Structure 1
């Protein structure tokens, strides 16, 4: 085995002038490209420090290791370029013929060990802190669906879905895109600042990944498993993220929005959500008119169904069949209710029994049976949904 001390002489026969000229050309091109990029838009490639103690620890650790790698890179490539220049063929350098050096072997074994230990100590400390989910103030279960998130405040009887709220016109390039295009939702996750929040992350269908860069939290959501993470936000604000695991054709349409607020504002929001949940439970026993069901059903459809079946009901065959004139939408209402409530095995049609309230289900089915010219005249009631669920 040859040692590092042989490198200068082994490189002596290399055409160093040509190589150095290519290096200069490459670095010049890279510099001009970077300069052009900065003139057109903000050019950022580094991590964000975030708004939690953990995220800032991760950022600091990243920067320390980055500069260690920079120093190592400068040292290694410096020796290489100096060797090619100093011991080049045009200067008459002759390669030496020798082998092992015990001293060199020991040195280049010990130095990497010392560097790795120096990096491992702070990294291990940060990882231990990241995985410590004990003594949380609030527990929130996060469930990934195709393609939305469900948030359950375990000890507070609050549960809701968070859906993409970017208008379809923007997605279809029919109107100007908003500031938070594809990163806005109808119901953000609301948490108080200066409280330890434990996340219990799972999924209902396929693997998703709940990722908020500002918190340094990225946790896979796997069906049948619960992964844990936590955060403690120091500053009020709105923080955005996305699903970070390819989970289907609408993977890019399930954003995450977290709203961190002062504790009094959080408690007021929580009380409002609890009151709203009670009011919705009472609505299930009311009698709804066709007009009210159609109006509510259109809103529910656009939020939960239009991504697959399209706003005009034409679907995206064969994966997502049309509802306009379909045997399901104009056939017996019992069959229609059953497929929406329980889903259809072997297809992309999910069971919405646990995702929507009885009122929402009655409204959206009524809408589907009377929109786009279907005009069945059928009106589905929340009591019909409860019967289909077996309640």
Structure 2
């Protein structure tokens, strides 16, 4: 038994030594939430930082009072415990102050939530439908719809025994075959639903995520300020391939978006036809119910 324990300690020490000798590997991570590229994300970030600094101040005051009391009233200084049961004034103070802090935090938070739900005066509407395991997009005012699935390179690399190193694939599991293209400086209303199980459409830089629920439509909006490609994923466990249904939003200037619309209208794709077929099947199923 002693020999087994020694062997276990030896293996543990060897493993620790190998880990410490290995070069450090840093993932793409950050200590804070992204600021985002929309008015909503800026509001959420500002609210987050406000609450954060309020919490920091509260933490400093509370823990400062605790450490001060421990140091100044320690036994070695001859401190004697006070003998009292309660103090009405103190109890009122430590009830009213936290209440005022919570109200001060709730007012800006409520304003941000109301702003996030206001889809009025939207300049265009996009319907997002979650499928197992892809996304369907429909530009409601343009008659354009298509499916967006995991791109072929990522799909090949994720297969067991493919021989493809995932690290060699750019934007592994975060690229699609058909991106959602939207114009910048345009208020876009999103109608989000699902055809089978609950999904969740999430792009961190937009500042929100919405559940996609079968038979129900969630609404939200965005207005992207800067052209670019913004990536997200399904944020609701939806089945076997939940981890393989990314979201990619490509924001372009309004003029470029108009050209993209014309190209889509003049030449439909297989993805669009598949989305139309899937939508038709969903409508038939709803009618049957």
TM-score class, shorter? 0.7 to 0.9
Q: SS state of the match for residue 145, structure 2?
A: strand
Counterpart pick for 2:229 among 225, 238, 251:
238
Number of aligned residue pairs = 251
Q: Cα distance, 1:356 vs. partner? A: 9.1
Give the alignment's Cα RMSD to 1 decimal. 2.3
Q: Give the gaps of 5 or more residues in structure 1.
A: 1-36, 285-299, 301-351, 358-391
Q: Does 1:129 align with 2:119?
A: no
In the alignment, which residue of structure 1 is the partner of 2:17? none
- What CA distance in whole angstroms lies between the structure 1 residues aligned with 2:98 and 2:64? 18
Normalised to the residue count of structure 1, the TM-score between the two structures is 0.61
Q: Any idea what the Cα deviations from partners look like across 1:181-232, whole Å, max 9, x if unmatched?
A: 0000000001000010000000000000000110112000000000001000
Which piece of structure 1 moves more, 233-242 or 78-87? Answer: 78-87
Counterpart pick for 1:251 among 242, 258, 261:
242
Q: Cα distance, 1:174 vs. partner? A: 2.0
In the alignment, which residue of structure 2 is the partner of 1:223? 214
- What CA distance in whole angstroms lies between the structure 2 residues aligned with 1:54 and 1:181? 28
Which has the larger share of strand?
Answer: 2
Instruction: Indicate the structure whose relative CO is greater, using CA pairs within 8 Å and at least 6 residues apart.
Output: 2
Q: Give the gaps of 5 or more residues in structure 2.
A: 1-22, 281-289
- What CA distance in whole angstroms lies between the structure 2 residues aligned with 1:221 and 1:126? 22
Q: Does 1:170 align with 2:157?
A: yes
**Contact 1:184 1:255 (8 Å CA) reproduced:** yes
Inter-CA distance 38–114: structure 2 relative to 1 (3 Å threshold)? farther
Q: SS state of the match for residue 137, structure 2?
A: strand
- What CA distance in whole angstroms lies between the structure 2 residues aligned with 1:231 and 1:38? 39
Normalised to the residue count of structure 2, the TM-score between the two structures is 0.81
Q: Any idea what the Cα deviations from partners look like across 1:151-182, whole Å, max 9, x if unmatched?
A: 01111110100000052342136223223100
Inter-CA distance 114–211: structure 2 relative to 1 (3 Å threshold)? same
Q: 1:279-298 to 2 correspondence within 5 Å?
A: none
Inter-CA distance 38–75: structure 2 relative to 1 (3 Å threshold)? farther
Q: Does 1:58 align with 2:33?
A: no
**Contact 1:50 1:214 (8 Å CA) reproduced:** yes
Q: Does 1:118 align with 2:127?
A: no
Which piece of structure 1 moves more, 167-176 or 108-117? Answer: 167-176
In the alignment, which residue of structure 2 is the partner of 1:182? 173
- What CA distance in whole angstroms lies between the structure 1 residues aligned with 2:78 and 2:26? 49
Q: Cα distance, 1:99 vs. partner? A: 1.6
Which piece of structure 1 moves more, 41-50 or 227-236? Answer: 41-50
